[in-house]
Amino acid sequence: MTKHIIIAGSGFAGTWSALSAARAVALAGKEDAIEITVISPEPSLHIRPRFYEAVIENMDPDVGKLFAAVGVKHVAGIVQNIHSDWRQVEVLLPNGARQKLAYDKFVLAAGSKLFQPPVPGLREHAFNVDQLTNAKALDRHLKALPARPETPARNTIVVAGGGFTGIETVAEMPQRLREIFGTQAELRVIVVEQAPEIGPDLGPGPRPFIEEALAEQGVEIITGTGVAAITADSVTLGNGEVIPTNTVIWTAGARANALAAQIPGTHDRFGRVEADAFLHAKAAKDIFVTGDVALAATDTLGNNAAMSCQHALSLGRVAGHNAAAELVGLALHPYAQPKYVTCLDLGPWGAIFSEGWDRQVKFTRDEGKAIKREINTKWIYPPMADRDAVFAIANPDYVIVP
Ligand SMILES: Cc1cc2nc3c(=O)[nH]c(=O)nc-3n(C[C@H](O)[C@H](O)[C@H](O)COP(=O)(O)OP(=O)(O)OC[C@H]3O[C@@H](n4cnc5c(N)ncnc54)[C@H](O)[C@@H]3O)c2cc1C
């Protein structure tokens, strides 16, 4: 009887889970006995790390042909319920119908969503760069601003959150606005971070470079106070300051997809499901968690995978391999990713490339930017639809960052 692996999500983790599972099934010569199905709204991989960029092009490459080349089926839909007790998922199809699908192994790779706390006006008035539709909505809004009457609110952009995404977004903004408004416009670009310093999670190493880059772009940095309220034409800070603006871009962190809450077991403060060394959900037999929904140890020193595509690309390969390996009798592969790097885009200044969890800066400015360009245009894109070439890099011990 055919056994079923179902994967929810076709992002970095879901796509590589599917490719790695297909490789394991082929290695065991069990293609006729195992069916691998990816469920996601569409057969494309959204390149979320680029959504802060000024030009929103080629950000959702098709993976349908890639899946077909390795014998993976794609079902367009959204997984709504996971019944771990009787190994079934319920899927909402694009025509509004609901379908129940049974699985032998289920891989949750549904990613994360922007964290939106109950700040008054946030959901109604703020923009963000979390999903492709959001990045496109921001782009349309920015391009429509010059048609409005000139006011301080029109000419001021406020980025809420001075973490990784906030910094990349704000560093790109002055140049992006000059292209939209022209070089003569009087513009203000502000980043607001509630911690005492910009880039609180990035540590002291990168900070002087971040401050230099933002100062060079004319970005104002406000720290030590958060965003308290947002309207269509202003933002109020926690310290009472009111800044006139038509554009607040919210970037304050991510939470695991709500589906993760349906999986029994321990969840961390980001909603991620605790995984064992093989990426099984610890409390749910036959379910694997991967990418942004997985709380997984990267090493034996106490570090956990970040919500990052660097980790999702490896977590995906391991989860997919292990889901298939359990069905076809191959050895399971433990997840480990001891090397960690960060590449932070700082707009026209360049980028910072750092190594280690303490982020030791190795390259800055143009050298850093060249690496960022390589990552953002090559490394994270899905491969060509060539079965042998894909299987050569879909192994669970593939090293993402050499
Ligand atoms: C602006 C921005 C900048 C970033 N910059 C970086 C960076 O520089 N470096 C880095 O490493 N990381 C970066 N990240 C983080 C990185 O994008 C994520 O960690 C990565 O996308 C996680 O991969 P994933 O496959 O787990 O989830 P995702 O890429 O979010 O994919 C989730 C998939 O699940 C699907 N899905 C969602 N819900 C359901 C459902 N109910 N049923 C079925 N399918 C579903 C989605 O359609 C999608 O296909 C950035 C993120 C953002 C938003």
Please give the Cα distance from 35 to 21 (Å, whole number).
Answer: 10
Q: What are phi and psi of 59, to 5 degrees?
A: -105, 5
pLDDT band at 285 (very low <50, low <70, confident <90, very high): confident
**Mutate-to-test residue for ligand 1 from 37, 48, 172, highest number of ligand atoms within 8 A of CB:** 48
Phi, psi of 255 (to 5 degrees): -130, 150
Ligand 1 centroid, distance to 295 Cα (angstroms): 15
C-alpha 19/C-alpha 24 separation (Å) is 9
CA of 48 from ligand 1 middle (Å) equals 6
Question: Taking residues 176-200, what's their average pLDDT?
Answer: 97
- Looking up tokens 């321990």, which residue turns up? 266
Whether ligand 1 lies within 6 angstroms of the CB of 307 is answered as yes
Average pLDDT rounded to a whole number, residues 187-195? 98
Ligand 1 contacts CB of residue 259 (under 6 A): yes
Read off the pLDDT of residues 32-78 as tens digits, 9 standing for 90 and up.
999 999 999 999 999 999 999 999 999 999 999 999 999 999 999 99
| Helix (H/G/I), strand (E/B), else coil: 248 | strand
DSSP string, 369-399: HHHHHHIIIIITSPPPS-HHHHHHT--TT--
Q: Write down the mean pLDDT value for the chain.
A: 97
Dihedral of CA atoms 270, 275, 281, 283 in degrees, nearest 10, equals -90
Say if residue 182's pLDDT is above 90.
Answer: yes
Measured CA to CA in angstroms, residue 92 lies from 9, 41, 118, 134, 259 at distances of 14, 9, 28, 22, 13
Q: Model confidence at 252, in pLDDT bands (50, 70, 90)? A: confident
Instruction: Inform me whether the pLDDT recorded for 402 exceeds 90.
Output: no
> Residue 278 has what pLDDT?
98
Compute the distance between CA of residue 199 and CA of residue 206 in angstroms, rounded to an integer: 8
Q: How many angstroms separate the Cα of 321 from the Cα of each of 25, 53, 105, 171?
A: 9, 33, 11, 39
Angle, vertex CA 296, rays to CA 381 and CA 128, nearest 5: 50
> Is there an atom of ligand 1 within 6 Å of 25 CB?
no
d(CA 313, CA 111): 12
Give me the pLDDT at residue 381, please: 98
Residue 131 to residues 245, 267, 333, Cα–Cα distance (Å): 23, 23, 32
Model pLDDT for residues 99-142, shown as the tens digit of each residue: 999 999 999 999 999 999 999 999 999 999 999 999 999 999 99
Distance 211 CA to ligand 1 centre (A): 28
CB 355 within 8 A of CB 205: no
Domains of the chain: 3-114+254-338 (3.50.50.60), 122-250 (3.50.50.60)
The whole-number pLDDT of residue 258 equals 98
Percent of the chain surpassing pLDDT 70:
100
| Reported confidence tier of residue 370, pLDDT bands at 50, 70, 90 | very high
Does 401 have pLDDT greater than 90?
Answer: no
Q: From ligand 1's centre to the CA of 57, what distance in Å? A: 17
Residue 109 Cβ inside 6 Å of ligand 1? The answer reads yes
Ligand 1 proximity of 249 Cβ (cutoff 6 Å)? no
Strands (E), 173-272: 188-193, 220-223, 227-231, 234-237, 242-244, 247-250, 254-256
- Residue 270 pLDDT greater than 90, yes or no: yes
Is the pTM for the entire model greater than 0.75? yes
149 CA → ligand 1 middle, Å: 37
Measured from the CB, is residue 13 less than 6 Å from ligand 1? yes
Q: Please choose, from the candidates 307, 299, 207, 193, the residue with its C-alpha nearest in 3D space to the C-alpha of residue 257.
A: 307
**The pLDDT value given to residue 176:** 98
Torsions phi, psi for 232 (to 5 deg): -65, -20
Q: Is 78 in the pocket of ligand 1 (CB under 6 A)?
A: yes
- Ligand 1 centroid to residue 18 C-alpha, Å: 16
Q: Which atom of ligand 1 is nearest to the CA of 129?
A: 1
Q: CB 255: neighbour CB atoms within 10 A?
A: 19
Quick one: average pLDDT of 329-346? 98
